[in-house]
Amino acid sequence: MVRLDYDVVIAGAGAAGLAAGTVCAQAGCSTLIVDREGRTGGILNQCIHNGFGLRYFKEELTGPEFAYRMSEKARHAGAEFALNSAITDIKQLEDGTFDIRVLSGKDGVTHLHARAVMLAMGCRERNRGAIATPGERPAGVFTAGTAQKLLNCEGKLPGKSAVIVGSGDIGLIMARRLRWSGIEVKAVIEIMPHSAGLTRNVVQCLHDFDIPLYLSTSVIRIDGKERVEKVVAAPLNSDRTPDTSRAFEIECDTVLFSVGLIPEMELARKLGVKENPATGGAEVNSAYSTSVPGVFSAGNVLHVHDLVDFVAEEAEYAGKCIVDYLVGAKTGKEFSSAAGKNLKYAIPNRFAAAKATRFLFRPTVVTDRAVLKAMVDGKSVWEKKLAFVRPAEMIIAEVAADTLHGDVTFELEEL
Amino acid sequence: MIYDTAIIGSGATGAATAYMLSHYSGKTILLEKAHEVCAGVSKANSGIVHGGFHHPSDSLKTRLELRGNELIDRLQHELHFPYLKCGILVVAYSEPELETLRKLYRQGLDNGVKDMEFCDRKRVFELESKLHESAVGGFFVPNGGTIEPYGYVFSLVECALKNGVSLQCDFEVVSGTFADGVWTLKSADGGEIKARYVVNAAGLFADEVSKALGAEEFKIFPRKGEEYLLDRNSAGRPERVVFPVPVKHSKGVLVIPTAGGTTMIGPTAEAVDDKGDTATTSDNFLKILKLTQNMVNGLTARDLITSFAGLRPVHESEDFYIAKSEKSPNLIQAAGIQSPGLTASPAIGEFITSLLKDAGLELVENPGFDGTLPPRYEARKLDDAKLQEFHDNDPAWTNIICRCEEISEAEIIEAVKRGHTTVDGVKFYTRAGMGRCQGGFCSAKVLNIISRESGIPMEELTKRGGKSRILAGKLGELEVK
């Protein structure tokens, strides 16, 4: 059994882990990035389409290109990697440092010792089981990401004619990817009255290929004894129950689910990190510190982002905060922030009033004109006008230092 | 070759009978219509080791249930299938229910159930702190719990094979004729097996097999049970199997701490027409969730991992039908094996063996019989020192493939070596893909390992045999329009 000491151990070598690891290593902290997979980059490696990096690298990249650049930055900065390595347990010791148990085929059982831990595990896809889609259990049912991996990394066809349930970004990207592989895409079925994915993806992946998108429609059955034979869908009534009198069948041999992402928080639970029910991730302050001192979180394990560029920016900032923590910097007086009207969540959950803070929000409404307000003691103390609001797209707002002097609730008012 | 005994069906009944017969030196063959053993009724059920109090003393069910309960204890020590002997707590949530439970408790005492304990409110909460506040009392049966039903059947079959039993999968018996003291069984695809004695353990299809063998005409009525599986982190996982007061035709909806570490709620009990109807419905999920939330605290829809449905093979008598056929020679019928069939199965195997003996099968002790299997190890349950030792012999032990259930590559290779070459076969043997992501992350890796170890091309791998292929071919094979 090997035992190794690090200033920072980062769980996950996706965009978040790499960005934070780069900053920590640049600052001279001994940094180890651990990942289950054999290569760095996480899910980016299976996202072979372009559209990444416009903000972070100022040029358009594919997922693997983005991953490669991030990895090279981390490597040059001096971060170390433990790949093909699964963290199975993590404990905080009495002195506030951490013991991390890692399994790998190469070294067997390893215990790492770290002064700070960064949670960068990303998220997993919600699947058919988790949303209890009724029907039979044939082969041919995949999450969109699993199908993406089979196609892009294994070079295998998941089926010949598909229906996609849910219009999350991976589902939309996969609609186009399936078509480009010769697989027929019969329909995308979305339970909400609007797409769950980015507008640009609806246009580029569905409209450009004449793939029908059924909104406010629910899949009420999957049929097929051995392999999928068809799905039965029905439009929703005004009370959002399926109107079975208007049910229709679509023949297909494959069903992909793109019905949301869930932060992979299981490791964090072992540390007793306080969770935010609205995001499924941890509660953090403006230094991206969780409720457990020394444990930081950023990227999709904190909240599901729309663009990887934002993941990298957020994690880069969290990396700076980890360095501050390691040199003993104090955060100062904190206030709480909460999501109010028309907002699903606000991040961070606590902020230091004396510093400028970048807040991130997930709206719950579709509107083209709105104003975001920061309410302290029932009064609006800060406002920002917004032109295009969609639940699929995060709202980012920089609030200058010394603007918010109290616990704040953010509200989104439609104009 | 003429076998002494052919057993039709490799569920718990068939497997236990094969195991019992392997104690003797006659030649036995186990026939299964699916691609792998334990593919029907025995795969999809609550996995409960029952205590022996649910049915009256004079029923065949009770006699075999009590004996089976004892035998499962012994078998677990020899075969090492997952068994969580956590005890069964039957809980009343109102005074009238408590009165009903008194009768059930007395029935248990009459049946000879060991170590039962009637509990007041305080005591039930001592035994299970997560009970809903409305619980008023109940009784506790320590000799019971949960097994992984497929794990149990796999180990019975493995031990039977080790002791000389043959196994043939993909063999669906469609006809049987008896001449000159020998049965000739024919399969759907033209295969043929000869045996002197036949055991009909065909589960849901026992009626059809009986007919195909020219024996008794009866009907098996499928009664569907939907089950819902919750994450191993669910706050609602109880320490005991929690039963409500039983209702007609069913032991009610339970909260089950599975032997694998997850929590299961269910089952429903609904008569259906189609023996292939294993669909689940969203209405039933909400119904079951609501019912169980009133039994145990901490159960939430958020923790739902997946759902499945199984069919109980109900004989018109509602009891087991295990007897020598009065119409066809050298045939033993074992039909209507519904709850507590899993618990009773080792005793059913014994009983069938004695019926075969009565029918003239010669039972000579198998001198080489070895009733033990090597212990099975799971990476997630090994301590550091032991796991490192395993790693030093085979690095695959610390290569984690299924992250949610922490299953190593070595366990998956072991499953393939033991004959599981379908995705479901590996899943049920190892638990890989049974956790919260339902194989989302590991299925590509699992497919690669099965293909590498079995030599079957990845595109030909199936979920559970037949036409249930996972993939449709290689990228580039389809014309892009």
pLDDT in tens, chain B (481 residues): 999 999 999 999 999 999 999 999 999 999 999 989 999 999 999 999 999 999 999 889 999 999 999 999 999 999 999 999 999 999 999 999 999 999 999 999 999 999 999 999 999 999 999 999 999 999 999 999 999 999 999 999 999 999 999 999 999 999 999 999 999 999 999 999 999 999 999 999 999 999 999 999 999 999 999 999 999 989 999 999 999 999 877 889 999 999 999 999 999 998 998 888 878 777 888 999 999 999 999 999 888 898 889 999 999 988 999 999 999 999 999 999 999 999 999 999 999 999 999 999 999 999 999 999 999 899 999 999 999 999 999 999 999 999 999 999 999 999 999 889 999 999 999 999 999 999 999 999 999 999 999 999 999 999 999 999 999 999 999 999 7
Are both B365 and B413 inside the same structural domain? no
Are both B63 and B152 inside the same structural domain? yes
List of chain A residues whose C-beta atoms are within 8 Å of the C-beta of residue B477:
157, 182
Are both A100 and A135 inside the same structural domain? no
Strand partners, A363: A343
How many domains, in total, are found in chain A? 3
Are both A290 and A402 inside the same structural domain? no
List of chain B residues whose C-beta atoms are within 8 Å of the C-beta of residue A221:
279
Are both B212 and B345 inside the same structural domain? yes
Are both B259 and B245 inside the same structural domain? yes
Nearest CA in chain B to A146: B440
The answer to whether residue B402 is domain-embedded is yes
Are both A270 and A161 inside the same structural domain? no
CB-CB under 8 Å, A130 with B474: no
Q: Which residue has the tokens 């990249």?
A: A61
Are both A120 and A264 inside the same structural domain? yes
- Chain B closest CA to A401's CA: distance in Å? 38
The answer to whether residue B161 is domain-embedded is yes
Last residue of a domain, one of A331, A350, A384: A331
**Average pLDDT of every residue of chain A:** 95
- Chain B closest CA to A128's CA: distance in Å? 7
pLDDT, tens digit (0-9, with 9 covering 90-100), for A194-229: 998 888 999 999 999 999 999 999 999 999 989 999
Nearest CA in chain B to A181: B480
Find out whether B34 and B170 touch, Cβ atoms under 8 Å.
yes
Are both A113 and A12 inside the same structural domain? yes
Tokens representing B33?
């219509």
Catalytic, B249? Answer no
Name the band, by pLDDT with cuts 50, 70 and 90, for residue A134.
confident
Are both B320 and B385 inside the same structural domain? no
List of chain A residues whose C-beta atoms are within 8 Å of the C-beta of residue B434:
none
Of B313, B396, B425, B353, the C-alpha closest to B197 is: B353
At B390 the pLDDT is 98
Are both B370 and B389 inside the same structural domain? no
- Give the CA distances from residue A235 to residues A131, A188, A189, B391, B392, in Å, rounded to whole numbers and listed in that order: 17, 13, 10, 54, 58
At A5 the pLDDT is 96
This model of the complex carries an ipTM of: 0.94
Task: Determine phi and psi for A89, rounding to 5 degrees.
Answer: -155, 155
Mean pLDDT within A97-125: 97
B451 touches chain A (CB under 8 A): no
Find out whether A281 and A301 touch, Cβ atoms under 8 Å.
yes
Are both B54 and B170 inside the same structural domain? yes
List of chain A residues whose C-beta atoms are within 8 Å of the C-beta of residue B379:
103
List of chain B residues whose C-beta atoms are within 8 Å of the C-beta of residue A261:
none
The answer to whether residue B252 is domain-embedded is yes
pLDDT, tens digit (0-9, with 9 covering 90-100), for A333-391: 899 999 999 999 999 999 998 889 999 999 999 999 999 999 999 999 999 999 999 99
Q: Which of residues 369-428 of B touch A (CB under 8 A)?
A: 379-380, 384-385, 387-388, 391-392, 395-400, 403-404, 406, 408-409, 423
How many domains, in total, are found in chain B? 3
Find out whether B90 and B141 touch, Cβ atoms under 8 Å.
yes
Tokens representing A53?
């990096």
The answer to whether residue B472 is domain-embedded is no
Nearest CA in chain B to A88: B406
The answer to whether residue B383 is domain-embedded is yes
At A2 the pLDDT is 61
CATH number at residue A150: 3.50.50.60
- Active site residue: B23, B35, B50, B54, which one? B50
Are both A272 and A342 inside the same structural domain? no
Are both A60 and A120 inside the same structural domain? yes
At B206 the pLDDT is 98
Question: Which contacts qualify for B161-164: CB closer than 8 Å, 24 or more apart?
Answer: B162/B22, B162/B370, B162/B373, B163/B22, B163/B23, B163/B366, B163/B368, B163/B369, B163/B370, B163/B371, B164/B22, B164/B25, B164/B27, B164/B28, B164/B366, B164/B368
- Which helix (H) or strand (E) segment holds residue B348: the answer is helix B341-358
pLDDT, tens digit (0-9, with 9 covering 90-100), for A323-347: 999 999 887 889 999 999 999 999 9
Name the band, by pLDDT with cuts 50, 70 and 90, for residue A132.
confident
pLDDT, tens digit (0-9, with 9 covering 90-100), for A69-84: 999 999 999 999 999 9
Strand partners, A123: A263
CB-CB under 8 Å, B468 with A139: yes
Q: What is the DSSP letter of A135?
A: B
CB-CB under 8 Å, A227 with B471: no
Of B230, B222, B232, the C-alpha closest to B254 is: B230
Are both B212 and B344 inside the same structural domain? yes
Are both A12 and A73 inside the same structural domain? yes
Instruction: Provide the domain limits for residue B205.
Output: 1-84+143-219+316-376
Are both A249 and A275 inside the same structural domain? no
Are both B243 and B286 inside the same structural domain? yes
Are both B186 and B65 inside the same structural domain? yes
Burial class for A119, CB neighbours closer than 10 Å (0-12, 13-18, 19+): buried
Q: Number of H helices and number of E strands within chain B?
A: 12, 23
- Give the CA distances from residue B205 to residues B178, B226, B249, in Å, rounded to whole numbers and listed in that order: 20, 20, 20
Tokens representing A410?
């953010």
Are both A142 and A193 inside the same structural domain? yes
Are both A366 and A307 inside the same structural domain? no
> Which of B387, B437, B480 minimises the CB distance to A127?
B437
CB-CB under 8 Å, B398 with A129: no
Instruction: Provide the domain limits for residue A234.
Output: 127-259
> Which of B278, B469, B473 minimises the CB distance to A227?
B469
Last residue of a domain, one of B324, B358, B376: B376
CATH number at residue B95: 3.30.9.10
Mean pLDDT within A121-130: 91
B333 touches chain A (CB under 8 A): no
Sign, CA torsion A184/A186/A190/A194: positive
The answer to whether residue B466 is domain-embedded is no
At A373 the pLDDT is 97
Are both B399 and B455 inside the same structural domain? yes
- Kindly tell me if the per-residue pLDDT of A1 is higher than 60: no
User: Are β-strands B321-324 and A230-235 bridged in parallel, bridged antiparallel, or unpaired?
Assistant: unpaired
Last residue of a domain, one of A331, A357, A382: A331
CB-CB under 8 Å, B472 with A158: yes
Q: Which of residues 237-296 of B touch A (CB under 8 A)?
A: 276, 278-282, 285
d(CA A175, CA A167): 10
Are both B53 and B147 inside the same structural domain? yes
Q: Which of residues 298-357 of A touch B (CB under 8 A)?
A: none
At B332 the pLDDT is 98
Are both A1 and A118 inside the same structural domain? yes
d(CA A366, CA B228): 35
Q: What angle do CA B237, B238, B244 make, to 5 degrees?
A: 120
Q: How many CB atoms lie within 10 A of CB B458?
A: 18
Of B212, B216, B200, the C-alpha closest to B9 is: B200
- Kindly tell me if the per-residue pLDDT of A255 is higher than 70: yes
